[in-house]
Chain A
Amino acid sequence: MHPHISTFYLASVRVRAAELLPWIVALAAFFLFPDFLSLGARILIYILLVLSLDLVIGYAGIVTLGHAAFFGIGAYTAGILSAHFGIKDPLLQLAAAGTVACLVGFGTGLYVLRTSGLTLIMLTLAISALCLEVANKATSWTGGADGLSGVTIAPILGYFRFDLWGKTAYLYSLAVLFVVWWLVRTLLNSPFGASLAGIRDNRTRMEGIGALVNRRLVQVYSISAGIAGLAGALLTQTNQFVGLNALGFELSGEILVMLVLGGVGRLYGAFIGTAAYLIAQDQLAKKFPEDWYLGVGILLVGVTMFARGGLLGALDSLTARLRRALKL
């Protein structure tokens, strides 16, 4: 599953030049495409969400189809704080959303992660269905099917207002994504990250060296849920609205598609897959408003058939082939 990571204890953790690329592209896009900043912010938020999904699926080997639940919980936490409690500070909301989602991840993870395979998938689906139904029924809190409006957000640090063009939203999302990326990267290189690789590789052996495997899975699941919650809060703050679709199955499936498209368990798969998917969706929807989903479908079929390991996997094998060709 991870052909490129075989050592943690002998690996250099220095940032490689290629790892700066996403950030350079993101900053360049800010200046080059001022009309696309709201799409850009959406991409950044979804990257954050897909990154959290990669942490559980790609690195911990926990297959879930209910990850949108944590995104939705974060989104509603931020929205409800603003609309019902008058807490409008974005960073405070962000912290609260991450914490609530993390706690829910912990609570559900304790039970759900005792299972594996299909049972686990069904349980994660069930939990996200429950969350959706709660949000749907608790109309006085969530606005139900109409969504939660009346969400206003104070300027960030009392200074940066969310503007109509999405400049603040874009840079704010970028900053949050950067911090989380750094934390996730650090985590993956740590002994904890190494032990996740061990669990994925051979769970029996991991227990045979005294690792409390289940506890570690619950830990990573909670962390991932917290990150998904942060992404949800960002969505609420940049849209000043929360709808039920932030919790839906569709979203859980869609982010899985983005991850597979980019490459599972590759950290940067989330970046490239999400950006490619959302940009393709945006362009196709403009050109073929009726059947753009067909285009997305074809893209996905193409990737799964011809590019195992997603776009990054394809890039890997291409460079490997080039290198061999140059040697010969």
Chain B
Amino acid sequence: MTPALEVKGLCRSFGALIVADHIDFQLERGARHALIGPNGAGKSTFVNLLAGRLRPDAGRILLDGQDITRLSAAHRVKRGIGRTFQTNTLFRHLAVLDNVALAIAERMGVSGQLFRAASAHQEVIEEARALLTMLNLMALEKTVVRDLPYGQQRLVEIAIALGLRPRVLILDEPAAGVPSHESYLIFDAISQMPADIAILFIEHDMDLVFRFARRITVLASGAILMEGTPKEVESDRKVREIYLGESRG
């Protein structure tokens, strides 16, 4: 079976700095795949290359076997790649429901409609409410996003991505900046995600990684250091030296 997402020989550098060094990578269908690595390993660059915010210098990206290397970020979303951002990238001045509804309307193709009120698009509103209910945000549907605590803003970030019904979902440090007593909110949300979505998540929180990941890829200096099951990664000496040793030590 073709993998949900496949990357072949991806390269990118900023001047003399190589941030992606011939990366070969596969994300299986329904994957729960973590991408880890020390700061500066090139994780964010990799995500931006996948999402289309950066162009690779060389290499190919295939979604369900189809080449999307040259598509813009917006067109990749339309093909089924959803993402969340490392720092909240939300519609801060809009209500929670509108944040999600904008994404759903975009996916349904109704967001170009001029002559019917947004509030008359029940199909959009109902789907948005279902998502908010799933993420325990329903009571806050009218709250303006910038008035929410950070942890709940992270949930809105996830809700927007789910509103796109992606086949591949990239979560860029979903729990970053969330106080530890609120991080269960994010954990719960991720565990409830539909099984058929292939999820790639970048995370520093090793509890989250070992709790959800079925496969882990370790990135260092723009190249893949190793890939394997959580057990394999945890017991790998190189990884312990480079990464786990540092962050846990």
The digit string for A173-209, where 1 denotes a CB below 8 A from any CB of B, is 0000000000000110111111101100110111111
A157 at interface by CB-CB < 8 Å: no
Whether B89 lies near A9 (C-beta < 8 A) is no
> How far apart sit A189 and B142, CA to CA, in the bound complex (Å)?
17
Whether A6 lies near B94 (C-beta < 8 A) is yes
> How far apart sit A218 and B85, CA to CA, in the bound complex (Å)?
27
B215 at interface by CB-CB < 8 Å: no
State the A residues within 8 Å of B (CB): 1-2, 6-13, 186-187, 189-195, 197-198, 201-202, 204-213, 216, 219
Whether B111 lies near A211 (C-beta < 8 A) is yes
Q: How many whole Å from A148's CB to the nearest CB in chain B?
A: 34
Whether A208 lies near B97 (C-beta < 8 A) is no
Known contacts A1-B93, A6-B93, A201-B93, then 15 further A-B pairs from the complex at CB < 8 Å, ordered by chain A residue: A7-B142, A8-B98, A8-B119, A9-B121, A9-B124, A13-B117, A186-B115, A189-B119, A192-B112, A195-B102, A195-B106, A197-B98, A201-B91, A201-B94, A211-B111
Whether B101 lies near A9 (C-beta < 8 A) is yes
> How far apart sit A11 and B95, CA to CA, in the bound complex (Å)?
11
Number of interface residues of B (CB under 8 A): 45
Whether B92 lies near A202 (C-beta < 8 A) is yes
> How far apart sit A209 and B163, CA to CA, in the bound complex (Å)?
9
> How far apart sit A206 and B113, CA to CA, in the bound complex (Å)?
16
Majority-rule SS of A interface residues:
helix
> How far apart sit A109 and B85, CA to CA, in the bound complex (Å)?
30
A208 contacts which chain B residues (CB < 8 A)? 51, 73, 77, 83, 85, 89
B197 at interface by CB-CB < 8 Å: no
> How far apart sit A298 and B246, CA to CA, in the bound complex (Å)?
64
Knowing A9-B97, A201-B92 are in contact, say whether A190-B113 is a contact too (CB < 8 A): yes
Q: How many whole Å from B227's CB to the nearest CB in chain A?
A: 27
Complex partner residue of B114 from A7, A12, A187, CB under 8 angstroms: A187
Whether B160 lies near A209 (C-beta < 8 A) is yes
Whether B74 lies near A202 (C-beta < 8 A) is no
